[in-house]
Structure 1
Amino acid sequence: MITQRQQRGFMLAIISGEIMMKSGGEIYRVEEIITRICRACNIKYVEVFATPTGIFASIGSGGEEGDIKTYMKSIKSRSTNLTKISEINNLSRKFVNGDIDVEDAIKEAKAIDAKKAYPLPIISIGAALTASIFCGLFGGQIIDCVIAAALGTLTYLFSVLLSKYGISYFINYFVCVAVASFVALVSEAFKITTGHDFVIIGILMLFVPGAALTNALRDFLTGDMLSGVSRLTEAVAIAVSLAAGAGIILTLWNSIGGVFS
């Protein structure tokens, strides 16, 4: 017989796993946190299967005649939020160690899930720094870095705007990089920058799927082949959209010989 506390502990485990998945955690960590919380509630039978788009978990009281409950949770969106991953990990440890009861843990988990990311101005500053630093690393001059910083900020804000309308990341990144590439070419034509390539590289680095690729490789190494293929496909799709956005604009620009040449 599954007790009321065990059912609430199961819900805590699902909420924790969902937060971990939506924040960019690896599959094995999602399955581990759910299993660890359920074991802390003395649940004898625990089976978890997680993918980037869903979590499937079953618990039971043990034995062939025991109660079994199954829960499926669809994951609609994913991002990278290391703060939430750290906080939900700490919460699970507190619960496993008996430092917090299940109801308070559920409330705290929901509070963690409701936390917003860094304010948009802070993220915009980060986008500007990223674009300008990579522009300089690849050989851009000071003026190139300044233009890359300004263009990186505007490009990121444009990406946020498109995402609010539910536009897929493939089209979102394609449009953002295409627009940024065109502006970089125009800036070079007006002799504002010394080279469009440095600026474009700085903008591209804002959207390179480094986290998705890293998690895909880690999933492969831990034996989660389905998740690894899924995340690798996602990373490749993003890379293709970035390359297409910049490549098409550069090709069209070269085909007409540059507007101001």
Structure 2
Amino acid sequence: MIRYITFLEEAAGRELVLPVTPAGYEWAHEAAIETVRVDQLGDLNFFGGRRMGSTTLRDCILPAHAYPFLTPGAGTDPWAYLEQLERWADAGTVLRWMVSGTPVNAAVLLEGVTYREQDGTNDLYADITIRQYRRPETPVLPAQGSASDVLSRDSSTGTATGKTYQVQAGDTMWAIARRYYGNGSLCWRLAAANDVPNADLIYPGQVFTIPPLDQLPGAEALPSSAQVARDTAYVDGAWVDKGAAG
């Protein structure tokens, strides 16, 4: 199966399919492992989040002639291809990098393009370096006060005041609460803070406010199902009131 490598500028609906698929590509999925040396214990490894992917597509042919092996619809002006790649690189445009028939579909930035002529055909050979892009979470600016107010943090949780989070595919409210407060069971109170009627039903693209812990709605704001779950326990094969069980 022939692979097609595509760069897509979603905002403008502009697409560039490489006219000749490179001989190969690679894309790394890696975790950041941090090693800390502890006295009397030696080296300890800790998970430090996910690394951003990066790669260089080498020897990409930008053709000056209508070769039979070009991708369908490919042009024969190598400088037009090069100009578009350089425009994206200079503007810091976020692109989707996709490889047909594979799961590769990542938001990327073009770090640079190195090109050359090498065989007298007027074809260009380009090395295209790309780095994965992750959109930073956008803080909500306070109505009054200096920009430094955005960086103030709750002393008990470290949560930035006025922070927001955009839901990604696969997210749950439990996981979001655990991420920001260290306690997934606060999901119901976080849902109440954002007027979400059902903490088990959230969608990609929703934007939630992440208030400091002491500004979350109280437990009385929990839906009845969550209050029942909080106040009952499974003991000796039956559900009982936690107060009675204690």
Output the TM-score relative to the length of structure 1. Answer: 0.25
Which structure has more helix as a fraction of its residues? Answer: 1
Which structure has more strand as a fraction of its residues? Answer: 2
**Relative contact order, higher structure (CA 8 A, sep 6+):** 1
Larger radius of gyration: 2
